[in-house]
Amino acid sequence: MTDIKEILDRLGIKPVNNGISTGQINWAGKGAVIESFSPVDGQKIAEVAAAERSDYEQIIEKSTAAFKVWKLIPAPKRGEIVRQMGDELRKFKSELGTLVSYEMGKSLQEGLGEVQEMIDICDFAVGLSRQLYGLSMHSERPQHRMYEQWHPIGVVGIISAFNFPVAVWSWNAMLAWVCGDVCVWKPSEKTPLTALACQHIIETVLKNNEVPEGVSCILTGGRECGEWLANDPKIALVSATGSTPMGRSVGEAVARRLGRSLLELGGNNAIIVTPSADLNVAVPGIVFGAVGTAGQRCTSTRRIIVQEDIYEEVKKRLVKAYAQLCIGNPLETHNHVGPLIDKSAVKQYQETVRKVKEAGGTFIVMPEILSGEGYESGCYVAPCVAEVANSYAIVQHETFAPILYLIKYRDLDEAIEIQNDVPQGLSSAIFTLNMRESEQFLSQSGSDCGIANVNIGTSGAEIGGAFGGEKETGGGRESGSDAWKAYMRRQTNTINYGTALPLAQGIKFEIG
């Protein structure tokens, strides 16, 4: 395996007295120690100092000052700086992807893919920097021109989760930067080193362009750091990715001060498999969706809803496919599944298995906590599959683990009803070769999720489309399409170039 210390050194992170040194990069703090352990082998990678309140205040002061400069730089020039960020990420794709894999536990291919996603969003943002369009409208008043324009909103707080430790941050940051905002990033305390590595790369680019360092700041720490962002009126937008309870807390705090929040929360994603489905395509899509990132994606496939006539065939194929999975060190490319993030996640896996059994579920692929050589970290579990009813309380709940629920249906109306009958509404999919079935699934009477796919799985979204979901998923949209509008404020402008003052709606007001 690649020496992780060598990787850290290439990324500008140097161990110093059991802590770390990252040169001049702008990050806080001076508080309690956060230890970063790898779930791959259980080894401590490094220690990082968490932020204290005084660190936070300095960061916000620096960010606020930087915004006054950054917002005045023309958007295409901001885009050019983001282009350079993308080029730097290309240079360090291998190192950063390896660190993502080692610190978080996802497969090396997925770690490299996550860095590629960052590069892709940089490319998207560069083009966007010349397309921050407003509309022109015809005025009802003569010799008047009416249009709208978009302006930066200020300091954007980004709270990211451990499962995508760098990509989701980049979805927000790259768009916010070309929109003229500055960013304060609170990464997961479970993956601080990947965040520091990204910050080092970004700050190098900012420094080379003589841009104030406060354009990009990082805030290391736990829940309290997120609460500072949520409650601070100086933070124009808080973008939070994580669990529904976390998002509810952030949303309530931001709403109390009439701020903006962008919430990307839990998913309980289902795939419907119809009798016309090509099972040679469907089964790999199901399995990747269920076991990729060890089931720790918000878009991971949790439920498979299978028509009763093909139910036994699908079940047989799933059992055969799961038997072929290789579980182990994610840096070894032959392994399909790596570890869960930590032992707390393993306990959640165990508790969910217990509740499934108590509710009456039957496992057709058995759960197991793996031990022995190669599993010393205690974070490895076997992906499992259980036959259940959608009404089980535990099935309504999102568990971040590779546990797949198998559910039977009679007709498509019932299948869609089952799919929608959960509190979350992030991603969904149907495997069918029947055009009517696919169109019904995508219609207003079909999936109620923010993402609805046909003949692909629930995970693996591209950056070109807006990403997000409904209901308890939070309603936020990130990444592509017109998601950029969340990071700007709309202003409607009307200009009178005539010699009279006609009023709207024909109102007459005469004086003198």
By annotation, the residues acting in catalysis are: 264
238: left (phi over 0), alpha (psi -120 to 50) or beta: beta
CA 211/CA 141 separation, integer angstroms: 44
β-pairing verdict for 182-186 and 216-219: parallel
Find tokens 């930066």 and name the residue: 152
**CA torsion angle for 460, 465, 469, 470 (degrees, to 10)?**
-150
SS3 content of the chain, % helix, strand, coil (to 5): 40, 20, 40
CA 214/CA 59 separation, integer angstroms: 7
Cα–Cα separations (whole angstroms), residue 261 to 233, 252, 317, 476: 12, 9, 43, 8
- ∠ CA 226-11-479 to the nearest 5 degrees? 50
CA atoms within 13 A on the CB side of 493: 14
Beta strand extents in 296-361 (DSSP E only): 301-307
CA 308/CA 85 separation, integer angstroms: 51
CA 5/CA 9 separation, integer angstroms: 6
Strand partners, 136: 147
Instruction: Give me the amino acid identity at 482.
Output: D
Strand partners, 353: none
Burial tier of 92 (Cβ tally within 10 Å: 0-12, 13-18, 19+): buried
For residues 122 and 174, is the Cβ–Cβ distance under 8 A? yes
End-to-end Cα distance, the chain: 86
Instruction: Give me the amino acid identity at 467.
Output: F
Total length of the chain: 512
For residues 178 and 75, is the Cβ–Cβ distance under 8 A? yes
For residues 181 and 4, is the Cβ–Cβ distance under 8 A? no
Beta strand extents in 200-307 (DSSP E only): 216-219, 235-241, 260-264, 269-273, 301-307
Burial tier of 123 (Cβ tally within 10 Å: 0-12, 13-18, 19+): middle
Residue 162 token pair: 């451990």
CA 443/CA 440 separation, integer angstroms: 5
Cα–Cα separations (whole angstroms), residue 132 to 76, 124, 138, 484: 10, 12, 20, 8
Residue 459 token pair: 């995970």
